[in-house]
């Protein structure tokens, strides 16, 4: 495995039938490694990027405390058979300093994660576009846990006619149902127990959808579970359209993303499940709960 800091060291894609990229900010866990395995199964060459993108943080303190564990990350990736780790500096990615031209996520900025974290998705799309240009993959693999991010990236690829396939790998969970996240390390043992209410709420909403309930009843089923954990401060528990990431109408029928964001102590967590309204066969595309 090679570790490079400059895009020119990645090599060309000439002679490589397929290159897949997994974009990360490091502090790797089993969820990231699942993305790597997904990439490894579908491509001849796997590139993993490790870059803590300042444009994705609207709180400087959050950026400062984000864990940086490059050596440990590289050991994990080498064991997974990754071909190249691209770990650029800020100066490599943003050679002129903060970029003047950025990508806008449009209406996705106005709802849920976009509303809670102003400018976040603009930062995500700007770095994703940059890394696509720098790594030149045939496929880019993203995790279903960041549902609104996936929708934003898919929209950018479609709207800009980018020559890359976006692959979405299922959410990886611990045995107790908690979605894998780099932020889980900040949870104390009692807070981690409290955090399990997120996956239980999604499971309840998914079951309600599977039994034929409409959108309001599906959300109410999940909120009942969330209300049982007063230590968890819920920011939103909502139904998103799987293509636009916008809220759906109460009489909506079809595939739907149920998404939750909550504060557990000082740690903000998100999770989701994809299911179907008006069909008893729930999809579970957001990961097995």
Helix 189-210 crosses helix 215-226 at what angle (to 10 degrees)? 160
CA angle (1 as vertex; 71, 130 as ends), nearest 5? 80
Residue 249 DSSP symbol: P
Residues 6+ apart with CB under 8 A from 76: 28, 33
Joined tokens for residue 274: 């994809």
pTM of the model: 0.90
Of 32, 38, 120, 138, which residue is the catalytic one? 32
Q: Are residues 47 and 137 in the same domain?
A: yes
Instruction: Check: CB of residue 108 under 8 Å from CB of residue 125.
Output: no
Q: Are residues 127 and 268 in the same domain?
A: no
Q: Is residue 111 part of a domain?
A: yes
Helix 147-159 crosses helix 120-135 at what angle (to 10 degrees)? 60
**What CATH number is attached to the domain comprising 236?**
3.30.1300.10
Q: Are residues 18 and 160 in the same domain?
A: yes
Q: Are residues 36 and 165 in the same domain?
A: yes
Report pLDDT digits (tens) over 104-139: 999 999 999 999 989 999 999 999 999 999 999 999
Q: Are residues 231 and 262 in the same domain?
A: yes
State the average pLDDT for the chain. Answer: 93
Question: Strand pairing of 84-86 and 254-264?
Answer: unpaired
Q: Are residues 163 and 271 in the same domain?
A: no
Instruction: Check: CB of residue 84 under 8 Å from CB of residue 48.
Output: yes
Report pLDDT digits (tens) over 28-59: 989 899 999 999 999 999 999 999 999 888 78
Is the pLDDT at 218 greater than 70? The verdict is: yes
CA torsion through residues 98, 102, 105, 106, sign: positive
Decide if 32 is catalytic: yes
Q: Among 169, 194, 210, give the residue marking a domain's end.
A: 169
Q: Among 169, 191, 215, give the residue marking a domain's end.
A: 169
> The domain containing residue 158 runs over which residues?
2-169
């Amino acid at each position: 495995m090679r570790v490079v800091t400059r895009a020119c060291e990645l090599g060309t894609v000439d002679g490589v039938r397929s290159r897949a990229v997994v974009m990360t900010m490091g502090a790797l866990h089993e969820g990231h490694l699942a993305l790597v395995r997904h990439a490894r199964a579908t491509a001849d060459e796997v590139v993993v990027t490790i870059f803590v993108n300042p444009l994705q943080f609207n709180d400087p303190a959050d950026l400062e405390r984000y864990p940086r564990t490059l050596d440990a990350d590289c050991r994990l990736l080498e064991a997974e058979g990754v071909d190249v780790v691209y770990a650029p500096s800020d100066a490599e990615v943003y050679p002129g300093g903060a970029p003047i031209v950025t990508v806008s996520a449009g209406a996705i900025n106005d709802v849920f994660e976009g509303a809670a974290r102003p400018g976040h998705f603009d930062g995500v799309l700007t770095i994703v576009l940059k890394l696509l240009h720098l790594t030149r993959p045939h496929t880019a693999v993203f995790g279903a846990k960041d549902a609104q991010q996936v929708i934003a990236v898919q929209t950018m690829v479609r709207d800009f006619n980018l020559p890359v396939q976006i692959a979405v790998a299922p959410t990886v969970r611990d045995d107790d149902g908690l979605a894998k996240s780099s932020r889980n390390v900040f949870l104390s043992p009692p807070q981690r127990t409290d955090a399990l209410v997120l996956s239980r709420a999604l499971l309840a909403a998914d079951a309600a959808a599977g039994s034929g309930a409409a959108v309001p009843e599906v959300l109410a089923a999940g909120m009942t579970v969330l209300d049982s954990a007063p230590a968890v401060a819920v920011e939103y528990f909502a139904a998103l359209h799987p293509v636009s990431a916008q809220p759906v109408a109460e009489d909506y029928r079809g595939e739907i993303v149920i998404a939750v964001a909550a504060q557990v102590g000082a740690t903000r967590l998100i999770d989701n499940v994809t299911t179907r309204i008006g069909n008893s066969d729930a999809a579970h595309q957001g990961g097995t709960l």
